[in-house]
Amino acid sequence: MPPTDKVVDPEDAETLRKSVCPRISLVPVRYTKTIHFVRHGQGFHNVAGHINHDNYKLWDYADAHLTELGWEQATQLGRHVAAVKLPVDLVVVAPLQRALETAVAAFGSKEQNHPHNGDNDNGNGDSRDAAGATADGGEDSAPLLMVAQEGLAGKRTAHTAISSRGCPPFIAHELCREHIGVHPCDRRSPVSEYKKRFPAVDFSLVDPDEDALWTPNHRETKDEIRRRGLAFLKWLATRPERNIAVVSHSSFLHFTLSCFGQGAAEAVQGEMHKWYDNCEMRSLVLSDDSAEAAEAAAAGGARPVDQWHFAGGLHATGLPH
């Protein structure tokens, strides 16, 4: 019988695999990508909520910023990312202040990432504007991921500007934001404000300008969060990048990842399903071997090409074929 790409007895092969190694799967590498899931650093709402959970309902913590500790956590994550040479082709971030600040601190340029005030013209350690122009008329070729921000006691931590020099692209996505509704800390600010604060972040997927999803009377159910999370993963699967960092929130990450690994070993489930600590990062492999993924690859879609593949046969000889 000539060789064929089709399995002659797929049911027998599948039955045998399930009897020998039921939890092992093989997928061509170009149908996989590594996702580095990150929860934001400590926010002012976290501190208040630990004192009294009802504080999450206070407008004092609307779209909460990172505390000084939160900035330090994100900075330390950035040092870890650099030390292990973590491959990141794209940073996807939830459109809330604490996630955006964590993302730029952890994955932004380390040259501009200084957590404390300086003595520059604006009092925040960097005198450049959003386009990168300096006070003396010089130019920085890279736009700012975040402009310098002034501190406000109990609400916002002073921080220098952060450059996008040498960084992967950043894109904000509404689907990976925190548990929506009731808690003001989870209500996003207008996109127009974010664009001023984070000039190098792409906000084209966050629309409209004002938050149309958050309401004061309804908080998403667990099922609603899971459905949103699964839609987000389907979007990630269509991206051309193979190594993606996602900076998001505890409830979103927990309820999304709880959809997977239910039959896995207890230790594996523990790694996937436990609640994230502030600024914790875990890396998982996302795969999609569906007919839709194969069709997209065949049509030259967003699926990355397997650069490791070697055709063999006559292709390996250099002879006509």
The secondary structure of residue 171, as a DSSP letter, is E
Q: What is the DSSP string of 128-159?
A: --TT-B-TTS-B-SSPEEE--B--BTTTB--B
> Which residue in 40, 45, 179, 249 is the catalytic one?
40
Q: How many CA atoms lie within 13 A of 84 on its CB side?
A: 11
Helix, coil or strand: residue 205: coil
**Rounded-to-integer distance, Cα 274 and Cα 219, Å:** 22
- List 101, 174, 178, 241, catalytic entry: 178
Residue 11 is a catalytic residue: no
Which of 215, 318, 226 is closest to 273 using CA atoms? 226
Return all residues near 58 (Cβ < 8 A) that are at least 6 apart.
Answer: 48, 184
Mapping DSSP to helix (H, G, I), strand (E, B) and coil, where does residue 163 land? Answer: strand
Q: How far is CA 110 from CA 36, 163, 164, 318, in A?
A: 19, 8, 9, 46
CA–CA distance, 103 with 220 (Å, rounded to integer): 25
Q: What is the rounded distance in angstroms from the CA atom of residue 167 to the CA atom of residue 113?
A: 12
Decide if 241 is catalytic. no
Residues with a known catalytic role: 40, 178
